[in-house]
Amino acid sequence: MNITRENIDELNAVVKVDIAKEDYSEKVDKILKDYRKNANIPGFRKGQVPMGMVKKQYGKAVLVDEVNKMLQDALNKYLTEEKLDVLGNPLPKEQENFDWEQENYSFEFELGLSPQFEVNFETKKPITHYKIVAGEEMIQNQIKHLQKQYGKLISKDVAEEGDVVAGTFKNEEEGIDNSTSLPLEKLKGKKNLNKFVGAKVGDTISLKTKGLFEDDHQLIEFLKIDHDKGHDLDIEVDFTVSEINKQELAELNQEFFDKLFGKDEVKSEVELKEKIKEDAAKQFTQQSDQQLLNDVTESLIENNTFQLPKEFLQKWIQTVGEKPLTEDEAKEEYDKSEQGLRFQLIEGKLIRDNDLQVKFEDLKAFATARIKEQMAQFGQMDPSEKELDDIAARVLSNQEEVKRLSEQLLNEKLLAFYKENIKMKEKEVTYDDFVKEIYK
C-alpha cells in the first residue's frame, strides 16, 4: 500500500491511496475459506462447496468490504501520523472508470486543511466588563418583599387596595374552578381593582380574563388552566370572596434582621441595604461574565481574519447530514455556520497554545468543590474527604455530567484567561440599565 499527498494550496490537498493485490488477497482468501466451511448450498455437503462457486457468489462483496476497511484504516492512520489538522472529513473523489474487476486500486480523497494563524487580542477599543449592581428601586422592592414574607396577615371584613383576597375563580362552561389567594396589587388597571375595593366575604365579582393581569402567565397561574388555553383567553369568570386579609409588613428592627441573616450580622437599615446590594452583585456576576464571553467572542472573530477552504466545506456540508443537500442549500448552511466555525478554530488554538485543556484532576477538583457547595446549602458544612470522593466518583461516572462539568470548567478557564489578556474596562451599572444597554 502506498499513500501520497499533493498540496493544492495552503488549505486544500488531495491524498492518493494505492492498494495492491498483495495488500488484501490474504485477508479476502481467509474470509472466503471461512464462508466455504459454513456455506449451505443445495446439492453440496457442508464444507464441500467448490471454492470457485464461493468466490462467484461472495467474492466481490468480500473484496469491496475488505478494501474499504483497509482504506479507512490506512487513511485515518496517515492523518494521525502526519498530524494533519483537517476540517470536516476527507471527501472521496469520483472516478469515472473505476473497475472492481482489476487487481490494483487507486483512491483519491480531497482534504480541507485548517488555516495557520496567530490569535490577535488587539481591539480598537477596550471591551466593557459590566459590574451589575442593584439600584435603589430594586433594593427597596427587595426590602418590601422580605417585610411581606416575614410579616403577618390581619383578617378584615371589607377589601381595600393592597389587601390579599382569598376566593375561588369559576367558569362552569370552561371547567374553571380554582381556589387561590389573590394580592390585589397583581390586578391590572383601576377598573379591575375597583371591583374588589369594598367587597365583603361571600361577595361574587364578575371579571373579564382579557386584561385582568399584566401578562397571560399570571392568568394561567391564578386560574390553573392549560398554558396554551391561557394565552389570549377572553371569557368572563366569577370570583367568590372567602377571606380578606391585610398584609402587615414586618418592622425593620433587630429581630427582623436576625431572622434574615443571623444574630447581629446586620444591625441597621443601612447595613441591610448594603447586604442586599452585596448579595445581588453575586447573583449578577454570572450574567456579567456571560456577557463578557459574548463580547470577547465577537471581538476575536472580528479581529482575526483568515481564509477557510470554503468550497471544500460546502461540498462536505452537502454530504454530512441525514439527507444530501443541494449546492445552494449547502452554501446557505455554510454562511450560517461560518462565524461559529471561525470561533471554534480560534478557541481551539487558544486552548492548545495556553494549556487550557480540562484535565481529569482539574475536573475532579471542580466537581468536588461544587458538591461541597451543595452540601453546605443543606447544612452539611464539614463533609469528610472520603464522602466527597465517593460522591465525586459517582458524578464522574455519568458521561452527561462529565460533559456538562467539563464545559463549565473550560468556560471558567477561558474567562480567567480573557480577563488577564484582553484589554477591558469595568463599568458599574444597575441591573435595569444593563438590560437596556444590552438589549436596546
pLDDT tens digits, 267-292: 999 999 999 999 898 889 999 999 99
When mean pLDDT is compared across 40-54, 156-170, 418-432, the lowest value belongs to: 40-54
Length of the chain: 440
Instruction: Report the pLDDT value the prediction gives residue 285, as an integer from 0 to 100.
Output: 93
Instruction: Report the pLDDT value the prediction gives residue 18, as an integer from 0 to 100.
Output: 95
d(CA 370, CA 392): 9
Instruction: Report the pLDDT value the prediction gives residue 83, as an integer from 0 to 100.
Output: 93
For residue 406, pLDDT beyond 80: yes
151: which residues sit within 8 A by CB, 6+ positions away? 247, 248, 249, 250
Q: Which tens digits make up the pLDDT trace of 375-401? A: 887 878 788 999 999 999 999 999 999
Rounded average pLDDT over 62-80:
94
Q: Is residue 350 within 8 Å of 389, Cβ to Cβ?
A: no
Label residue 297 by pLDDT band (50, 70, 90): very high
Q: Is residue 176 within 8 Å of 170, Cβ to Cβ?
A: yes
When mean pLDDT is compared across 33-37, 157-161, 416-420, the lowest value belongs to: 33-37
Instruction: Report the pLDDT value the prediction gives residue 376, as an integer from 0 to 100.
Output: 86
Instruction: Report the pLDDT value the prediction gives residue 55, as an integer from 0 to 100.
Output: 87
Exposed/middle/buried for 309, CB within 10 Å: 0-12, 13-18, 19+? buried
The structural architecture, per CATH, of the domain 2-113 is 2-Layer Sandwich (3.30)
What grid cell was written down for 184?
A: 390585589
Instruction: Report the pLDDT value the prediction gives residue 183, as an integer from 0 to 100.
Output: 93
As a whole number, the mean pLDDT across the chain is 92
Instruction: Report the pLDDT value the prediction gives residue 121, as an integer from 0 to 100.
Output: 87
Q: Is residue 111 within 8 Å of 15, Cβ to Cβ?
A: yes
Label residue 365 by pLDDT band (50, 70, 90): very high
Residue with cell 399570571: 218
Instruction: Report the pLDDT value the prediction gives residue 255, as an integer from 0 to 100.
Output: 93
Rounded average pLDDT over 167-191:
95
For residue 46, pLDDT beyond 80: no
Label residue 339 by pLDDT band (50, 70, 90): very high
Direct distance between the N- and C-terminal alpha carbons of the chain, in angstroms, rounded to an integer: 62
d(CA 23, CA 72): 14
Label residue 119 by pLDDT band (50, 70, 90): very high
* 152-248 carries CATH number 3.10.50: yes
Tell me whether domains 2-113 and 152-248 share a fold: no
Comparing C-alpha atoms, which of 88, 84, 76, 72 is closest to residue 320?
Answer: 88
d(CA 354, CA 348): 10
Label residue 231 by pLDDT band (50, 70, 90): confident
Domain ranges of the chain: 2-113, 152-248, 267-306+354-438
Instruction: Report the pLDDT value the prediction gives residue 51, as an integer from 0 to 100.
Output: 87
Rounded average pLDDT over 8-13:
96
Rounded average pLDDT over 21-43:
86
**What's the one-letter identity of residue 279?**
D
For residue 34, pLDDT beyond 90: no
When mean pLDDT is compared across 48-57, 148-157, 210-219, 273-282, the lowest value belongs to: 48-57
Instruction: Report the pLDDT value the prediction gives residue 66, as an integer from 0 to 100.
Output: 94
For residue 147, pLDDT beyond 90: yes
The DSSP-derived string for 418-438 is HHHHS-EEEEEEEHHHHHHHH
For residue 41, pLDDT beyond 80: no
d(CA 323, CA 167): 57
Instruction: Report the pLDDT value the prediction gives residue 96, as an integer from 0 to 100.
Output: 82
